[in-house]
Amino acid sequence: MIGKVYLVGAGPGDARLITIKGKECIEKADAVVYDRLASPRLLRWMKPGAEKVYVGKLPDRHTMKQEEINQLLVDLALTGKTVVRLKGGDPTIFGRVGEEAELLYRHGIAFEIVPGITSSISVPAYAGIPVTHRDLASSLSIITGHESPDKLDRMIQWDKVTNATGTLIFMMGVAKIGYISRQLIAHGRPPETPVALVRWGTRAEQDTITGTLADIEEIVKVANFQPPAVIVVGEVVLQREHLKWAEQLPLFGKRILVTRARSQASQLVSRIEDLGGEPYEFPVIETVMPTSSLDISEIHQALDKLNQYDWVFFTSVNGVDFFFHHLNESGKDIRALAGARIAAVGPATAGALRERGIAAEMLKERYQAEGLVDAFGPELKAGQQILLPRGDLGRSWLPEELTRMGLHVTDIKTYETVLCGEDDDELLKLFEEGGIHAVTFTSSSTVTNLLRVLERMAGDAHTPLELLRDSTVACIGPLTAETAREAGLNVSIMAEEATIESLVDALCEWNKDEPRRHRD
């Protein structure tokens, strides 16, 4: 059986700018063929076991030739696979999709072209430049700039293109900016015409430089401005002075590693995105049901005497989620805890209980185990029964302290925290190039597990501490920070409160003092 190929526009770089259909194609693909212009974050939607094929440039080989990519798509489809070819921007705009589709057609392979958001329009928009404007430009031209001057002259009719439309967009023409400028001036564009170059638009590396046709070549040389970039020529560039919205966001220009479990990462990821940062999800922990028969037996025994507890202390969202999972599995009723007082460490834990109809007593400060004793110590009486549902990595301090105070503690391990984290060549490359600007840790286990995963991934090439040397370390609380420091990391950011929102606030405060990339 012959497979099918989807030629999918991946958008300009920000993973959220892919189309719904493009995302659906990735989710059902057996193989995804991609290069550096497609965000690696898109690959997180792939189904387990699907094949990733990188066709960009690697240290030990050059970029795969277009003819080889064409044939690769054919070969994969002939094995019966559903294949996605991820192409930056829109595949029909200088994406060579016609060549790929033609070879598929000749081999009788079914294919679909899935349009994407073209970088020729979206990248300028992220730099505050609308490519059309009622008073400045009612039309635009999209022109390749990624050719030698003699080939550009054969492909472009400069006398017609120069003044054909209000805005000119040149794709991939940084190295030819001087030649392009001179040709436009020679064919009638005023030397003072505004020009902007936007590099890696919509990504953390987004960088913008502006000038005029007369001086932009020198500005690019002095700034050592490198490709890939979109070039915008026309009066619309002047709109940037008032409309550069992305660069005003608190986390603009920062790629931030999120290491917590994928099931819990959504809030942190969403806040980073909302504030202009680029989250890179790399969960190094996963929470699972307990596997020990002893732990399972102790859970069942605890649930059989719910009506005997005076207090239930929940120390995490996971503790809530897994407790209720066990409760449902056993057929028990939460009303059995009607005589118990229920307390939560932190607003997130209290929120998880509120979703289940329980208004827990919440700590007003110090969102950790010690805070429970501080807050409720005077009300804890010797002989009372305490239920403590938590994970296998919970500190011994709380049950030991409660026992010392004369209370009877039932400490059940309702879930286990296990190491996860697949090898990720893109992440390794980003660390090596200084492309991970901050690393967030939300528990001690995320610290120890990230170091273990990096050690495995890097082998003898780097130590984990070497890879993390140029990244700012941000921790959710003092216990996590202590683990990081003991491991040899320099902790620069710590949340005032042990909450995701407070951690994000600390990241924003840090980024205030960081240099911003725009050179107008």
Sheet architecture: strand order including 491-494: 278-281, 255-258, 438-441, 472-475, 491-494
Nearest of 471, 30, 22, 520 to residue 254 by alpha carbon: 471
* Catalytic option among 30, 35, 207, 321: 35
- The strand pairing partners of 416, in sequence order, are 288
C-alpha neighbours within 13 Å on the C-beta side of residue 82: 13
Torsions phi, psi for 436 (to 5 deg)? -105, 110
Q: Are the CB atoms for 355 and 386 separated by under 8 Å?
A: no
Tokens read off for 75? 């070969």
Torsions phi, psi for 274 (to 5 deg)? -60, -30
How many Å apart are CA 72 and CA 75, to the nearest integer?
5
- The strand pairing partners of 391, in sequence order, are 415
The helix or strand, by DSSP H or E, that contains position 496, with its residue range, turns out to be none
Tokens read off for 203? 């990504």
Residues 6+ apart with CB under 8 A from 380: 311, 373, 402, 405, 407
Residues 6+ apart with CB under 8 A from 435: 204, 205, 255, 429
The one-letter code for the residue type at 377 is G
* Catalytic option among 46, 64, 172, 362: 172
- The strand pairing partners of 503, in sequence order, are none
**Is 172 in the active site?**
yes
Nearest of 322, 294, 285, 323 to residue 306 by alpha carbon: 323
The one-letter code for the residue type at 282 is F
Q: Are the CB atoms for 184 and 143 separated by under 8 Å?
A: no
Tokens read off for 71? 């044939």
Q: Are the CB atoms for 102 and 66 separated by under 8 Å?
A: no
* Catalytic option among 47, 57, 305, 381: 57
What pairing do the DSSP bridges indicate for beta strands 285-288 and 408-419? antiparallel
Please classify residue 294 by burial: count the beta carbons closer than 10 Å to its beta carbon, then call 0-12 exposed, 13-18 middle and 19+ buried.
Answer: exposed
Question: Strand locations in 190-297, DSSP E?
Answer: 194-199, 207-212, 229-233, 255-258, 278-281, 285-288
**Is 413 in the active site?**
no
Cβ-based neighbour number of residue 486 at 10 Å? 11
The catalytic site residues sit at 35, 57, 172
